[in-house]
Chains A and B, each alone.
Chain A
């Protein structure tokens, strides 16, 4: 097998404000994010040769039309990509291979979701697992891991709350985040229960939003607006695990094998031997507070069982040795599902370029973006690095 390392460059990024955007529809969001990315890249819409758009729910949009109709870019290949919460990063993945192959020169990867249009409490879960049985809410799925980890490792609700407090602190500084208010431990611990042991502040909110990236090969990037500071793709990995972990005899609910598989492949591709030391910052999938803690372990930032200590000891703070979710994460930035992967890459790109919108991590060299979808059954990991 080959490698994507250093074969793909990001030359422009765009992102809408995330939040309860009642007055905006998918067309508004796609146009805003894509045009911001194209302006950032200095690329005209007519120069786009292909596009991929990550969307989870059919009510947001079906087919590549969800990109081509708003942008009025017809005649080019446009594909809708769906892979649970990894949809946006999987759209990016497909775009990377298109330019790396040499067949396409300049393409767009985009993601969008209009969750607020559903009017329901929590994510619609129809179609997950089985039409008749196996029903559970999204928080409920991840709560199963929290319950088991409390039992195995002695973690507590306080450990979970620390993640929420950290991410709210970061989100408050980011102008595009959904929630921009710091919270206290007390706020987190006294919040209404959603799916025990996860309370309201352990769960990322429902949000609308879109993000987009313009992608090309390094030799073309050298002649672009961002010729001095374009960002290189060091690795891109995707891995699946069972979509029915609660029916699988071997699930231990102490971590997510999909993340471990994808991280291993990404580190090998990027040549990272000690992630805890070599990764400068990470945007990880904190759909729920417990997920972020398990992500630290599964991504190799710390040992199995040490996830709660990792955040308690401040390693994941913006000024810690491995800042995690400097943007505020899914918790605060929001999680319009199809958009999130692209939003993370937007954030890592701007952090590496020293022009982060919110809290800037000091002098980052390698950034990692991580998405975990479904019941932890699809994981995408991308590692980006500075060109120098």
Chain B
């Protein structure tokens, strides 16, 4: 059967305390804080981040498939998985697919990945899940939801065995969002929780345990997703789990992260699991998926992989609810669209998405964007593609208050960066305080949504100061 070779996660840098949300509206707040994606992030960019995390130390050209799970795809028509695969610099001859429409999409995608590997049509399939769901302002959803992403590499070989799976198909009650709706909707949460969630989850969990001949005592960790802070405990109890066996649902630190939650929680469990331990994964949404995993060995650490825990410790508080409103475009001004060209975008995709530079075969200098004629030695058409490094140092910069014909009160830092290992790029900074920028600052390169020229999502790369762990 297919195995798991690696996992990864991503949590946006910013956090908003639920008390701040409650205070903004003058309504009660539930405990904890939620993760907030920046204005230049969406489910696609977060999926790239989680995918990069999962693939640290792994050659992207060995991946045969990319499945993207979300309920908040940035396009209703245009495949996100293909864009993610390009940003992860994968081969073109692979199977890419978007799995959308359900909170359960990530485990649906996992089952499809497992089937692909088991059938022999793929050796390695990367499953990434991300969500950026929006709760109506002034609603409880606005407090409960959180943004994030997770990833898991399903492979022919790997330290984690997938011993069995069970799926229960949909039912009609639970949160929903129609194509024309901006915000997640709920009708009666008690019914949704009891009949739309708990019933299916318990049924699927019991069925898998019976099929595999296991009980809760033989399982080290139960990864049980939930849409609210409490109901998963009852589900766990109905399956025989003690509270100590239940994986943290990230409610207090991230929020209910939709389709991403299963893979984020799984990443957290895999990071801590010991060899020989079993993990029970139970995911919900229009039915339920259950999977039983066993650690033949731990997943080896990879230098530079942050995983769930690394991202949880990297955070910065948003100063106010208003910042969240800006990020989520709740307060956008009516503006004419920026100029752009999907034709140019397509033609230059390798520069923009794969972030490829070129090394001159004659003189060895790395150049970006890739030219026809070398800037150093003027040799023509003698280059090899180079994946540009994702870290660098600031050589010079400005804090630009002018953008798109407007004066901005908060400037956009624009940085000239010398990349570690060669090449120079000019990028916007994000996720940081303009006052932090200085010559010599080390930065990391991130995939973000740059602008909406030609009413098209123009994705590109930005940078941010290497984050510090915060208390």
Contact = CB atoms under 8 A, between A and B. Distances in A.
Interface of A: 118-122, 124, 126, 130-140, 143-148, 151, 192-198, 242, 246-251, 253
B398 A132 contact: no
A247 B400 contact: no
B447 to A, nearest CB: 12
B318 interface: no
A138 to B, nearest CB: 8
A195 B424 contact: no
Contacts of A137: 400-403
A132 B450 contact: yes
Interface residues of B, number: 46
Contacts of A144: 396-398, 414, 416
B385 interface: no
Contacts of B341: 131
Given A131-B339, A247-B424, A121 B407 contact: yes
A139 B369 contact: no
A139 B402 contact: yes
Given A131-B453, A132-B352, A132-B460, A195 B423 contact: no
21 contacts: A121-B406, A130-B344, A131-B340, A132-B348, A133-B352, A133-B427, A135-B450, A140-B398, A140-B414, A143-B399, A193-B399, A193-B401, A193-B411, A195-B398, A196-B398, A196-B411, A196-B434, A197-B398, A198-B398, A247-B367, A253-B416
Given A132-B340, A143-B399, 10 more contacts: A120-B405, A131-B340, A131-B453, A133-B460, A135-B450, A246-B426, A247-B424, A250-B375, A251-B424, A253-B416
A121 B402 contact: yes
A140 B400 contact: yes
A247 B425 contact: yes
B368 interface: yes
Given A136-B426, A137-B402, A247 B344 contact: no
B367 A249 contact: yes
A144 B399 CA distance: 9
Interface string B361-398: 00001111100000110000000000000000001111
Contacts of B368: 247
A140 B402 contact: yes
B439 A136 contact: no
Contact of A133 (B365, B395, B411, B450): B450
A197 B439 CA distance: 13
A248 B424 contact: yes
Contacts of A196: 398-399, 411, 434
Interface string B237-253: 00000000000000000
A39 to B, nearest CB: 39
B458 interface: yes
B345 interface: yes
A249 B339 CA distance: 29
Contacts of A195: 398-402, 411
A124 B404 CA distance: 8
A148 B450 contact: no
The 5 lowest CB-CB distance pairs between A and B, nearest first, are A120-B405, A143-B398, A137-B402, A196-B399, A246-B426
A294 to B, nearest CB: 14
Contacts of A249: 365-367, 375-376, 418, 422-424
B290 to A, nearest CB: 44
A130 B348 contact: yes
A272 to B, nearest CB: 31
Contact of A151 (B339, B406, B439, B450): B439
